[in-house]
Amino acid sequence: MARIVFIGVGDVELTRRVLSALVLVPELRGELEIVLYDDDPGRLATAETLVRAIDAEARSAAKIRSTFERRHALRGADFVVSDLDVGGFEATLRDFEIPHRYGLRQTLGDTIGIGGVFRGLRTIPVLVRLAEEMAAECPDAWLLSCSDPMAMTGWAVQEATGLERFAGLCHAVCDTHAYLADLVGRGQDEVTFLSAGLNHQSFVLRFEAGGRSLYPELDTVLESDAQLRRHVRVELYRKFGHFPTMSSEHAAEYVPWIMRHAEETARLGVPVEEYLRRVGKSLHLYEETRRALSAGHSLLIRWQHQEPAAAMILALLTGEEKEIYVNVANRGLIGNLPEGCCVEVPALAGAGGLRPRAVGDLPVQLAALNRTFLNVVELTVRAVLDGDRGHVYHAAMLDPNTAATLTLPQIEALCDDLIEAHGDLLPAAVRA
């Protein structure tokens, strides 16, 4: 029997997608044990009701339990699916409201930017502790992290704990592949893709059918659609030569040329403070799920684009090989990015475990964009692992959007305000 532990179950849609994929596999009927952990009683109760409803509808006969004791939840696990939101909506709101007072505009602010730095400062210590507890309670288990900022947390966890069975999992690459195939009128099974880079900043290196690049066909589509050309990631593709996998909302704050210019955000349709709207939508979806459960509505997803965490679990359990995009330590996978950083590459999951694919060097201009992002990532990691408040300032100073908007004294003052506002959510050494 496979024991799958969910750590953090506030995202009911993620839980729903992963569980639906698992319980619909006939050979796993009666072979799954699902353990749920959260520190919020309401979220935990809702998640358990959801999981039991999905299991009953699929007639999967899984063993299901929930607990407030995290180490007890981890004991004997085979897979740990982690989705952390340290500080919740209130912390996210501070990440937007305080920079807003300084005139600093953000879109998503969960991976890079001042919001990404402080989300990293909150999340890294919690995920490192989780990995350390896994070493004691389930040393052979896989930690499958769905938590942003993935490039920061993945680097920190693997450096701090040496955990080998770690994979960060995100649907951005798969969604981009589907989007590009649709733009040129192809089925995904007709197209060969290869993407690589960093989470939320990977690039499509190969986009081919029948051994021929489909980029010329994409160019024709873009030339005929002026509205489509007014997207940030299309703009980046046209300047840097490879299509980025991050959404336009993400892409706008990874570079210094857009967010500080109101005319550019208007021209490119950038939704400022978009993440707050998404959080509101997520809270609404949570309440909708609770109402659907109370009314006895079906919540099992029978037809879906498989969630990466579910795809990896199924490949490892059944032995049926599948290519999955993962975020793992760079051990010679991308030659012109630093060893040990957390990179996003394709991997083959199956009977042989997880085998990440070495991509080689990225085109130099793409590696340069990645290294700009990695400056912020590495300094945030160092701030936590070395207990150095100075690196919080350094990370913010080198962040492209923050640096393009604020002066050095303003950046220091902003960081001080955020450190004070987040208080005990941050590591003690950072607060000192």
DSSP codes joined into one string, 191-202: -EEEEEEETTEE
pLDDT in tens for each of the 432 residues of the chain? 999 999 999 898 999 999 999 999 999 999 999 999 999 999 999 999 999 999 999 999 999 999 999 999 999 999 999 999 999 999 999 999 999 999 999 999 999 999 999 999 999 999 999 999 999 999 999 999 999 999 999 999 999 999 999 999 999 999 999 999 999 999 999 999 999 999 999 999 999 999 999 999 999 999 999 888 889 999 999 999 999 998 888 899 999 999 999 999 999 999 888 888 888 888 888 899 999 999 999 999 987 667 899 999 999 999 999 999 999 999 999 999 999 999 999 999 999 899 999 999 999 999 999 999 999 999 999 999 999 999 999 999 999 999 999 999 999 999 999 999 999 999 999 998
Q: Is 170 annotated as a binding residue?
A: yes
- Is residue 285 included in any domain, yes or no? no
Measure the CA–CA gap between 428 and 389, rounded to whole angstroms. Answer: 10
Instruction: Give residues with Cβ within 8 angstroms of 346, minimum separation 6.
Output: 194, 195, 196, 323, 324, 325, 326, 356, 357
- Is residue 79 included in any domain, yes or no? yes
- Is residue 84 included in any domain, yes or no? yes
Give me the residues paired with residue 196 across strands: 203
- Is residue 47 included in any domain, yes or no? yes
58: part of which helix (H) or strand (E)? helix 41-58
Q: Determine whether 100 is an active site residue.
A: no
Q: Which two tokens stand for residue 307?
A: 């969630």
Is the Cβ–Cβ distance between 177 and 204 less than 8 Å?
yes
Q: Is 200 annotated as a binding residue?
A: yes
- Is residue 384 included in any domain, yes or no? no
Measure the CA–CA gap between 151 and 176, rounded to whole angstroms. Answer: 19
- Is residue 198 included in any domain, yes or no? no
- Is residue 10 included in any domain, yes or no? yes
Closest Cα partner for 149 from 177, 98, 196, 114?
114
**Of 171, 284, 391, 422, catalytic:** 171
Is the Cβ–Cβ distance between 184 and 243 less than 8 Å?
no
Give me the residues paired with residue 206 across strands: 194
Per DSSP, the three-state class of 49 is helix
CATH of the domain at 23: 3.90.1820.10
- Please name the residue ranges forming H helices in 355-407: 364-385, 390-398, 400-405
Rg (CA), the chain: 21
Q: Which two tokens stand for residue 212?
A: 């021929």
Residue with tokens 């750590």: 7
**Range of 8's domain?**
2-88+109-169+298-356
In this prediction, residue 304 carries a pLDDT of 64
206: part of which helix (H) or strand (E)? strand 201-209
- Is residue 425 included in any domain, yes or no? no
Domain total of the chain? 1
Supply φ then ψ for residue 285, to 5 degrees.
-65, -40
